[in-house]
Amino acid sequence: MSDTKYKKLTFLSMVRLAAPHTWPAASILPCVFGLLYSAYVGFKVSPFLFILLLISSVFSQCAVNTLNDYADYKKGADKITDNLDPTDAVLLYESPNPKHVLNLGVVFCCTSLLTGCCAALIAHSAMPFLIGIIAAFAIVFYSFGKTPLSYLPLGEIVSGVVMGALIPIAVICVFASYSQNFSFVSDIIFLSSLFNDKAIQLSWLSSNWFYGAGYLDWVNIFISVVPFVFGIGLINFTQNICDLEKDTESGRKTLPVLVGRKNACIIFKICLVLWIAIALHVSFWHFGEGFWAAVVCTIFGIGSIRQLFISKFLQKDRQVLMQSIIKSNLFINSAICFSIIASFIF
């Protein structure tokens, strides 16, 4: 098909490819948790730095969504009969040039890397660079390659770890390092001065880029991000169970394809219970003063959680269930954030 037969990639199509409905649960909330955790343990936080980190986090999610849609389209994995939301299957329903979609995904990825690098430079923290490299490889290999990660029973783990663990850990590392290195200079002034002030350049080059990382309470950090790993991983798991027949036909070896829908539903519900239990555990033991806020927030999410418990995860229910798991993420993982906020207030 020649390029002239494709429709124009409009701004609305770009927004739909970026899938804003996935941002709050998969990128914004983990970033917000990293900010709140950093403030709770006494690190100096910077609004400007947080904005950079939030932009980096959101655009990484945009890149994942866009590149995955492109890869699925090129492999012919998506079909009109798959009960997909038309606004969530732009290449299928709106027919933009796939090359332009690929370029858009690359732009999203570069924007994420650029803003993340700016935050790392300001904070003198090497950890975001290392985490960014891992995330970039995960984004590429999740959708591309001879056997993409999304075609293996690893998609849930990869998405959960990259978005649910690496994002908040990167944010915490940035603020841990920033607290020690740059409490005396404005963020924007430093970033502009870095390119023309030799004294600042010398200080920047001679600083310890891993400062702060060795003094973090890594055990508590790892435990605290586990609910985000579960929640975001279960978004992917929900999609894969509903798409079992479609994935089988396209040759994917996802976990539901390997174990079958019945067993996959059992595994999902066990993980759902563990997710809620761990989230409440983290709220109680780490941010106990605000535990009541976590309980209230979780109670408000009972409707969405119940929908997931009673469902058989059939293809026809895909759209409703994806909405339910995203809402459940907002309630359950927000419970931890609200427990921290309540701890500050009370």
- One digit per residue, pLDDT tens: the chain, 346 residues? 445 588 888 999 999 999 999 999 999 999 999 999 999 998 889 899 999 999 999 999 999 999 988 888 887 766 655 556 666 678 877 888 999 999 999 999 999 999 998 888 888 777 777 888 888 888 888 888 777 888 888 888 999 999 999 999 999 988 988 887 654 445 555 556 655 665 554 554 445 555 555 567 888 999 999 999 999 999 999 999 998 988 888 788 899 999 999 999 999 999 999 999 999 999 999 888 899 999 999 999 999 999 999 999 998 898 899 999 999 999 999 999 999 999 988 7
State residue 41 phi and psi, 5-degree precision: -90, 0
User: How many degrees, rounded to 5, is the angle at CA 262 between CA 259 and CA 263?
Assistant: 45
- 144 vs 340: CA distance, rounded Å: 39
Give me the amino acid identity at 181. Answer: N
Q: Where are the beta strands (DSSP E) in the chain?
A: none
- 326 vs 321: CA distance, rounded Å: 9
Q: What is the predicted pLDDT for the residue at 79? A: 63
Give me the amino acid identity at 70. Answer: Y
- 244 vs 270: CA distance, rounded Å: 19
Residue 312: how many other CB atoms lie within 10 Å: 12
Q: What is the predicted pLDDT for the residue at 82? A: 54
**For residue 142, what are the contacts with CB-CB under 8 A and spacing of at least 6?**
64, 67, 68, 148, 149, 150, 155, 158, 159
* C-alpha separations of 141 from 27, 107, 152, 296 in Å: 19, 17, 11, 39
CB–CB of 250/77 below 8 Å?
Answer: yes
CB–CB of 338/290 below 8 Å?
Answer: yes
- 61 vs 306: CA distance, rounded Å: 27
Give the orientation angle of helix 29-40 with respect to helix 318-345, to 10 degrees. Answer: 20
Q: What is the predicted pLDDT for the residue at 209? A: 52
CB–CB of 132/113 below 8 Å?
Answer: yes
Q: What is the predicted pLDDT for the residue at 194? A: 54
Please tell me the chain's helix, strand, coil percentages from 3-state DSSP, rounded to the nearest 5.
80, 0, 20
**What stretches of 80-163 show up as alpha helix (H) in DSSP?**
90-93, 98-123, 127-143, 155-159
CB–CB of 39/47 below 8 Å?
Answer: no
Instruction: Indicate the length of the chain as a whole number.
Output: 346
Rg of the chain in Å (alpha carbons): 21
Q: Give which of 123, 118, 109 is closest to 195, Cα–Cα.
A: 118
The whole-model pTM stands at: 0.86
259-289 burial, b at 16+ Cβ within 10 Å, e below that, comes to: bebeebbebbeebbeebbebbbebbeebbee
Q: Which two tokens stand for residue 238?
A: 């929900």
SS3 of residue 301 by DSSP: coil
